[in-house]
Structure 1
Amino acid sequence: MLKNLVILGCASLQSLPRGLVHNGSKVITRCHLENLEILGCPSLRLFPTDELPAALKYLEIWDCNSIPEKLLQNNKSLEFIRIGNCKILKTLPRFLSTFEHLTEMHVNQCSSLEYFPDSGLPIHNLKTMLIANCDNLKSLPNRMHDLTSLQYLTVFGCSRIETFPEEGFPPNLLSLSIWGCKRVKLRFAMWRLHKLTSLKDLSVGDFDRDMVSFPEDSSIPPNLVHLRVQSLPELKFLSEGLLDLVSLEALDVWNCPKLRYLPKNGLPITLGVLRIRNCPLLEKECRGEKGAYWPIISLLPHVRINYADIL
């Protein structure tokens, strides 16, 4: 019985065979699809009976120009969906919110995507969401705060997003990565990240081209274990706020050409790993016994500068 199917590079394919769908007694078939990947089929317009196979758990649609609205109406088994490089797709199907068992969702390289459906996203079991390289996307989904199961959220390369949800990010996030959202006008301190008491991993960058000091007072939760700061061209100071991170174990600082200063009172005592990349002014102060910060970083178990371990 067929459970896995990959359709790749069929540029003229317009419809899939009816026998792919076996929902109840509608069709007698040897297909019981659980995994379906449709890649590089830009002419595809029709799915059999306008619905997905009832047992389908994994769906990937890549480089297909349209996704029929009815396609996502009645599926109750889907756990993973990836939609990518669908260049004329302006919004996602509104029935996404009905996927009760969906745990992971990726949306990537949909250059015409402007918004998510008003109906929102599945709120019951969604744990991982990635939104990447959607150049025209103007905002994140509505009611993100209701996604209480969401643990991993990545948003990058969405250059037209100007703000984030007023009610804040999902409250139980463990990992949050946001970078390349260059038009965000909301000051970092207003992101309300300090409310994310479960957050352990935070990666931010390329969003505030005027930021001089990071972090701003009480702007990030104190229980972080890993912090990455990158691509802030005017950043000069890592502030005393770092010392509030009482559980921090690893710190990455990348691509901050004007960064020169560490906190006056040193680094968190829990810090075990410091990685610095493409921050020439800070690198100079950290190298060798003559570096101003050598007495601080020499106490750390592991220090890496530009791919070379110095401790």
Structure 2
Amino acid sequence: MKEKHVLESLQPCVNLVELTIRSYGGTSYPNWLGDSSFSNIKVMGLSGFSNCWSLPPVGQLPALKELYIEEMKSVMSIGAEFYGVNGTCLIQPFRCLEKLRFEEMPEWEEWLPSPGRGQCPDFPRLEELVLQNCPKLRGNLPDHLPCLKKLEVLDCGVLYERATTSGWIPWSLIVNTESLRQSLQDLQIRGCPGLSSLLETESLSSLSGLEIQIFSRTDCLQPHLSSRLQKLTLRNCGSLLSFPRNGLPTTLKSLYIQFCRRLEFLSHEMMAKLTSLQTLDLSNSCDSLRSFPLGVFPKLSSLQFYVIKNLESLSIGEGADVENLTHLDTLTMYYCPNLVSFPHGVLPTPNLARFTVNGCENLKLLPDRMHTLTALRDLWISGIPNVESFAEGGLPPNLQLFGISGCEKLRPSVEYWGSQRLVSLRTFDISGSEDVLETVLKEQLLPTTLHTLRISYMKSLKSLEGKGIQHLTSLQELQIYGCYSLKFLPKEGLPASLSCLHIYGCPSLMKRCQEKTGEEWSKIAHIPCIEIGDQVIIN
């Protein structure tokens, strides 16, 4: 009662545009909440009401465009009170609402339509509807959403699960209405087996984005996907075995497949038809995939593979046009343990800007003649313990970020690395590769134009070589993390250009760098900003 009295007394000005109330503990709502005199409210968020059994009458707010309702722990039913019904007189509810979101509604079971509405829809302008983690909600969703463009139903496990036997109308029939068929553009379903019938209809002709998660059926992809589909995401479909026999729509621009390990990847014929594909992202999927033809997609700009356990090689592709690789901007190979080779010779990707190879333990060779990749800006090589050398002929000349980690056998070549020519390099990040660091510093391989140097997780590193850092006359930031044995900074000191020094997880060095009392303090006292663990020193 005290909370209700306080909230009642906080009645805001009627000119209010946005209202959010969190963690209200009252059992009923203040009289002003939902009153139509608040004619300017456009956005409302209500969350964490633990004792209210119903929702406030917000349906009559004339300007309301966005409504977010979360963590209403006691609400079991949503009905007439939500729409703002006053006796038998009913003004069109939610006349301007465009976005409606329900999240974390643990006891919500039914959603009833407004009484006496006739043929008028309850949500005439609703464009986006999200239902997330409503585990007891069974059915009776709005059956007339003429403007709906985006629908997300996530973790509503019993929604329409037994719709046919219990007498509810399956929503697959609702989807067949002319209005929704023409409007729905983005559909996301996760953990809602009762909505599988949505995927069996041929009516979603305007659909451009489809995301399916946690489906156990082997055929959750039907052969009549929308001919306008541009983005397809499959996640946690552990039983999915194959794509439709006629392949995917040729309009597809983005394909994301995650945790679908039994799925057989597209055949070469199917891939060749995807002439619009720009992004391909595979993660923990397609265990049968052993070789991937890079040149099969003429417009592919981003290719990212994460934990593709049986992938052995990348190739240009039989009969593929090298010109097809001119759009490739990002190439990421992350934890592909059986990857042994890239295409022989130079990688024909003239516009490649980001290249990452991480955790490919059987890989012995990186692509040849990397200095020809003149568009490359970011290069990360990590967790490739069997690679001994690379970049014969020099590193890519326009690198801005270069990261190395876990490359035990790598020996930087003074002759080929040509680091002093890397006038664009701004950040060098090295982790867990002590021999590489020793060579880089000893041979002064880093360019004098470097701005940021990160050194991390060197277990045995006890000191930093002096000249290798001292010659970095443009260095502005030095970060040292997780070097447990490190005690000594360079005898010659650190570059005068340094403006920031960060030391964390290096107990010996942190102790020796204590302000004024530490043995290394004189070497860093000139630096304007020093961060040692949680301590920040501004000089």
Which category describes the TM-score, using the shorter chain as reference length? 0.7 to 0.9
Question: How far did 1:42 drift?
Answer: 2.1
Question: How far did 1:222 drift?
Answer: 0.4
Q: Secondary structure at the match of 1:20?
A: coil
Q: Secondary structure at the match of 2:342?
A: coil
Matching residue of 2:249: 21
Q: Do the aligned partners of 1:156 and 1:178 also contact (CA within 8 Å) in 2? A: yes
2:347 to 117, 121, 124: 121
1:173 aligns with 2:392: no
1:129 counterpart letter in structure 2? F
Question: Following the alignment from structure 1 to structure 2, what is the Cα–Cα distance between the partners of residues 213 and 83?
Answer: 31
Q: Which aligned runs of 4 or more in structure 1 are off by greater than 3 angstroms?
A: 66-74, 95-98, 187-192, 208-214
Structure 1 residues 201 and 212: alpha-carbon distance in aligned structure 2, compared to 1, 3 A threshold: closer
Matching residue of 1:56: 277
Matching residue of 1:29: none
Question: How far did 1:20 drift?
Answer: 1.4
1:37 to 232, 249, 256: 256
1:134 aligns with 2:360: yes
Structure 1 residues 274 and 144: alpha-carbon distance in aligned structure 2, compared to 1, 3 A threshold: same
**Length-normalised TM-score, structure 2:** 0.52
Q: Do the aligned partners of 1:210 and 1:235 also contact (CA within 8 Å) in 2? A: no
Q: Do the aligned partners of 2:359 and 2:383 also contact (CA within 8 Å) in 1? A: yes
Question: Following the alignment from structure 1 to structure 2, what is the Cα–Cα distance between the partners of residues 274 and 242?
Answer: 13
Question: Following the alignment from structure 1 to structure 2, what is the Cα–Cα distance between the partners of residues 73 and 256?
Answer: 43
Q: Do the aligned partners of 1:240 and 1:264 also contact (CA within 8 Å) in 2? A: no
| Cα deviation code 1:188-244 (max 9, x no counterpart) | 756432232221110113223597687214321100000112233234234133221
Structure 1 or 2, whichever has the larger Rg, is 2
Q: Secondary structure at the match of 1:2?
A: coil
Structure 1 residues 201 and 73: alpha-carbon distance in aligned structure 2, compared to 1, 3 A threshold: closer
Counterpart mapping for 1:59-208 below 5 A: 59-63=280-284, 64-67=286-289, 72-95=294-317, 98-184=324-410, 186-187=411-412, 189=414, 191-208=417-434
Q: Do the aligned partners of 2:326 and 2:351 also contact (CA within 8 Å) in 1? A: yes
Question: How far did 1:51 drift?
Answer: 1.3
Q: Do the aligned partners of 1:11 and 1:40 also contact (CA within 8 Å) in 2? A: yes
Question: How far did 1:282 drift?
Answer: 2.1
Question: How far did 1:141 drift?
Answer: 1.4
Q: Secondary structure at the match of 1:82?
A: strand
Question: Following the alignment from structure 1 to structure 2, what is the Cα–Cα distance between the partners of residues 46 and 217?
Answer: 47
Matching residue of 1:47: 266
| Cα deviation code 1:18-72 (max 9, x no counterpart) | 25132xxxxxxxxx21111111222233426331511111111122224476864
Gaps of 5+ in 1: 23-31
Query: Aligned-pair RMSD on alpha carbons?
Result: 2.5
Question: How far did 1:156 drift?
Answer: 1.1
**Length-normalised TM-score, structure 1:** 0.87
2:253 counterpart letter in structure 1? E
Q: Secondary structure at the match of 1:59?
A: strand
Gaps of 5+ in 2: 1-227
Q: Pick which of 201-210 and 219-228 moved more.
A: 201-210
2:461 counterpart letter in structure 1? E
2:485 counterpart letter in structure 1? K
Count of equivalent residues? 301
Structure 1 residues 46 and 251: alpha-carbon distance in aligned structure 2, compared to 1, 3 A threshold: closer
Question: Following the alignment from structure 1 to structure 2, what is the Cα–Cα distance between the partners of residues 237 and 46?
Answer: 49
Structure 1 residues 260 and 188: alpha-carbon distance in aligned structure 2, compared to 1, 3 A threshold: farther
1:264 to 487, 491, 506: 491
1:226 to 452, 460, 463: 452
Percent of residue pairs bearing the same amino acid type: 31
Question: How far did 1:307 drift?
Answer: 4.0
Question: Following the alignment from structure 1 to structure 2, what is the Cα–Cα distance between the partners of residues 140 and 213?
Answer: 20
Q: Secondary structure at the match of 1:215?
A: helix
1:281 counterpart letter in structure 2? S
Question: Following the alignment from structure 1 to structure 2, what is the Cα–Cα distance between the partners of residues 208 and 164?
Answer: 18
Q: Do the aligned partners of 1:174 and 1:200 also contact (CA within 8 Å) in 2? A: yes
Q: Secondary structure at the match of 2:509?
A: helix
| Cα deviation code 1:118-149 (max 9, x no counterpart) | 15423311001111111211121122121111
Q: Pick which of 63-72 and 199-208 moved more.
A: 63-72
2:505 to 278, 291, 299: 278
| Cα deviation code 1:234-288 (max 9, x no counterpart) | 3423413322111111001223333322233432121111011232332222103
Q: Pick which of 152-161 and 277-286 moved more.
A: 277-286
Q: Do the aligned partners of 1:225 and 1:247 also contact (CA within 8 Å) in 2? A: yes
Question: Following the alignment from structure 1 to structure 2, what is the Cα–Cα distance between the partners of residues 182 and 122?
Answer: 28
Higher relative contact order (CA 8 A, sep 6+): 1
Structure 1 residues 123 and 138: alpha-carbon distance in aligned structure 2, compared to 1, 3 A threshold: same
Structure 1 residues 308 and 66: alpha-carbon distance in aligned structure 2, compared to 1, 3 A threshold: farther
Q: Secondary structure at the match of 1:129?
A: strand
1:247 aligns with 2:460: no
Question: Following the alignment from structure 1 to structure 2, what is the Cα–Cα distance between the partners of residues 262 and 188?
Answer: 25
